[in-house]
Amino acid sequence: MIENPMVVDHLWRHLERTPKVVGTCEGCGEEILVGEDVYDFDGELVHQQSSCCMEFIANKSLCKVAGE
């Protein structure tokens, strides 16, 4: 059976309009969509925004006073 190219094209365009979620930001916890600028930290994705990076590091680290 030969597929109708118009139908296939229509489906493809529909998919392209829908933002594709590729993961979750380890900082803010929001979804990361295709085309967004992110840092890939050993497979963990973080938005390239200072607030996300700060939250990510805060989640990963021990909070302490330097020198103590």
Q: Considering only residues 12, 22, 23, 25, which one is a binding residue for Zn ion as defined by CB under 5 A? A: 25
Task: Select from 1-9, 12-20, 41-49, 60-68 the region that touches Zn ion (CB under 5 A).
Answer: 41-49
Size of the site for Zn ion (CB under 5 A): 5
What the block records as the tokens of 21 is 């979620």
The answer to whether 28 contacts Zn ion (rule: CB under 5 A) is yes
Residues in the site for Zn ion, rule: CB under 5 A?
25, 27-28, 47, 52
